[in-house]
Structure 1
Amino acid sequence: MNAAVENYLMPGGSASITALPKVSLHDHLDGGLRPHTIVELAGEIGYELPETDPAKLTTWFAEQADSGSLVHYLRTFDVTIAVMQTADNLRRVAREFVQDLADDGVIYGEVRWAPEQHLQQGLDLDQAVSAAQGGLEEGVDLVRASGRSIRVGQLITSMRQTDRSREIAELAIRHRDLGVVGFDSAGPEAGFPSSLARDAYDLLAHNFLPTTVHAGEAAGLDSIRSALFDGRALRLGHGVRLAEDITTAREDDENTYVSLGDLAQWVKDREIALELSPSSNLQTGAIEQWGDVMIDHPFDLLYQLGFRVTVNTDNRLMSATSLSRELFLLSEAFGYDLTDLEIFQINAAAAAFLPIEEREALSEAISVGFERA
């Protein structure tokens, strides 16, 4: 077990959030490495780290990521990607990733990563995907050997700034029966709307491979609109700035008027899941127009208005977090109870890139787990 995975309890109660069954939809492979693994792998390849003590390296990642800028936040990935350039290293990182998810109570996880960033030591795209899949499967086997259960799938990510979206879409389609469950687009959001990769999204749609798109994090409503209508997105990666399309006005001490714009209404009515990552959203400045502490996050507004909100970590290393910690922080800020936390997990199960029968079974497993809490 990874000692960094802590046991989080409900605020003011004894129920263990960590022990509850959970679904993780937005979690980057290169954002979830164990610090001591980075130190070991960097030593093997002679890569110079900013800190060689795992504890100090953990602090370095958190400090660098907590910048209020997505651009600065993304620079921390130079370190993690550098040690993920061989098949063996990809397998190890993926294996440990799954074990850490299971230690945090995750029973279904979608693992997103960009294979195009892992070709510096001779791997081709297909070899990289196969290596990661091998590690994921090893992790699942180790979890099962410990008497627990977890299922994972790959989300193949294209980096929107590299103009390789069509090639990466074809890669995802080739591996759809070999562990890949969907497609993602990430990287700098401003200046790179989904319309620039429309041919890739058309190809994915024609092959019935579902997509999620990073949108509404570093850019606003136009980015979300393009993700939905050019990117055919079934989920929004973050999507937090959809709250810009919601108007609230206090009528008196007891009543508040709320109005949804056309885009927000569309997302709500279609039950398009929002992959919200509270700590990350604070770190990158995605919610700066509303504030800079957890209670300022529009998560609760979106939840109370009936949007399909889900809770995610984004990058566990950079945000020094876990899914249980994110749920704890939200419960602490907004007074959520176990019923609320169960709804968040049911929302995630309903939005998972799985056949409907398997989504229903996942929801049932979540309900049973919460009943026992």
Structure 2
Amino acid sequence: MALPLTAETLARAPKVLLHDHLDGGLRPQTVIELADEAGYRDLPADEPEALGRWFRESADSGSLERYLETFAHTVAVMQRPEAVQRVARECALDLAADGVVYAEVRMAPELLTTGGMSLDEVVEAMLDGYAQGSREAAEAGHPIVVGTLLCAMRQADRWVEVAEQVVERRGEGVVGFDLAGPEDGFPPDRIPEAIAVLDRADAHRTIHAGEAAGIDSIVAALDGARAERLGHGVRIADQVPVDGPLGPVAERVRDEQVTLEVAPSSNVQTGAYPSLAEHPVDRLHRAGFAVTLNTDNRLMSGVSATSELTDVARTFGWGWDEVQTVAERALRAGFADDAVRARIATEVLRPRFDALRA
């Protein structure tokens, strides 16, 4: 007899995250302590509970300017190697404690260079932190594999440098490339040399698209950057009517099983959809799209992998079949080596789901 699907049982379920931003997932206490160490005096609150509430309320305000301001604070306190390492270590520990067994965490290293670090030093600090946190999590009985995605900012011109870091550090924990930042006006083939660097090395890439912008941004990511996955990608729903045939791009994305890194709470916060009930995540899943569930920014959205899964399951009536399908689909879409993902599937994912469904 399967256990009932509740927040408590979902907390025990193994989870896979493909879209989680390092600078969007700090612990409020860590933000305060790092700010104190760095002499940063612009935090809007100096007590963890109040600061966490400020982040959530600002992200939920409907103001893009206020939403972006939240990242100004987290990035400001991460401008030293030891700060980056601490945040990455705590990220691995927090995800593992939440039942995440495989995660790909992304960060734009160029955002952490204003304090004097090089891209190389930023990436090194992230990798060290993830490795340390993963070791500690395993010792505590919560094994996790963390892969690093390196973002280039669309509006900046450091794409080639970031792509080179992806290629050079593939054997050290970096698993792929991403483009983040404003979609409108900054197409994903704006700097073709960067895409060529990735192509020559057959390096993985996921591209933010179909979040703030629509179908055209999805086409550009697929054709201009040869994206294997779409960061968010939910605007594909513009071509997925409740009744009627799919539009041509939607049909392509479904038929090619392009993975959608969907983050429902984040989409509601940024105004893409008015509520979770009106979010297309369930409609896309039931229409056969390769939907995965993600946190995006755990601090700003006040979410965890468990809470996101719980809210979606409760809202749309999902059962264990849907929960396991989404987890296995996300693992298959991961950029880690095939052997790593196969081991997680056979030794961790399926046995733990079998125990919950027995």
Counterpart of 2:289 in structure 1 is: 307
CA distance in 1, matches of 2:216, 2:66: 23
Which of residues 178, 201, 204 in structure 2 aligns to 1:207? Answer: 201
What RMSD over aligned residues (CA atoms) do the two structures have, in Å? Answer: 1.5
Conserved 8 A contact 1:158-1:168: yes
* SS of equivalent residue, structure 1 residue 154: strand
Q: Match for 1:154 among 140, 148, 166? A: 148
Which of these residues, 59, 80, 83, is aligned with residue 77 of structure 2? 83
Secondary structure of residue in 2 paired with 1:17: helix
Q: CA deviation at 1:10?
A: 6.2
Cα deviation for residue 51 of structure 1 reads: 0.4
2:277 pairs with one of 290, 295, 320: 295
Which amino acid in structure 2 is aligned with residue 318 of structure 1?
A: M
Tell me the CA shift for residue 356 of structure 1: 2.9
Separation in 2, partners of 1:350, 1:75: 35
Shift, 1:81, TM fit: 0.4
Counterpart Cα distance in 2 of 1:192 and 1:67: 26
3-state DSSP of counterpart to 1:317: helix
Say whether residues 1:129 and 2:123 are aligned partners: yes
Alignment-derived partner of residue 354 in structure 1: 336
Q: Is the 8 A contact 1:112 1:156 kept in 2?
A: yes
Distance in 1 between the 2:305 and 2:10 partners? 9
Q: How does 1:1-373 map to 2 (within 5 A)?
A: 13=6, 16-48=9-41, 49-68=43-62, 70=64, 72-248=66-242, 257-287=243-273, 292-364=274-346, 365-373=348-356
Deviation of 1:75 after TM superposition, in Å, equals 2.4
Secondary structure at 2:184 match in 1: coil
1: CA distance between counterparts of 2:167 and 2:275?
40
TM-aligned CA distance change 1:15 to 1:53, over 3 Å: closer
Number of aligned residue pairs: give it: 352
Q: Which has the higher helix share?
A: 2
CA distance in 2: counterparts of 1:23 and 1:71, whole angstroms:
31
Moved more, 239-248 or 54-63: 239-248
Residue deviations 1:300-349 (CA, integer Å, cap 9, x gap): 11001000100000000000000100001101110111111111101101
Distance 1:281 1:71 in 2: 16
Q: Say if 1:10 and 1:331, in contact at 8 Å, map to a contact too.
A: no
| CA distance in 2: counterparts of 1:235 and 1:70, whole angstroms | 25
Residues 69, 283 of structure 1: 8 Å contact kept: no
User: In 2 relative to 1, CA 342–52 (structure 1 residues): closer, same or farther, beyond 3 Å?
Assistant: same
Q: TM-score, normalised by structure 1?
A: 0.91
CA-to-partner distance for each residue in 1:16-46, whole Å, 9 max, x for gaps? 1111111110000000000000011111122
Counterpart amino acid of residue 217 in structure 1: E
State the percentage of identical aligned residues: 46
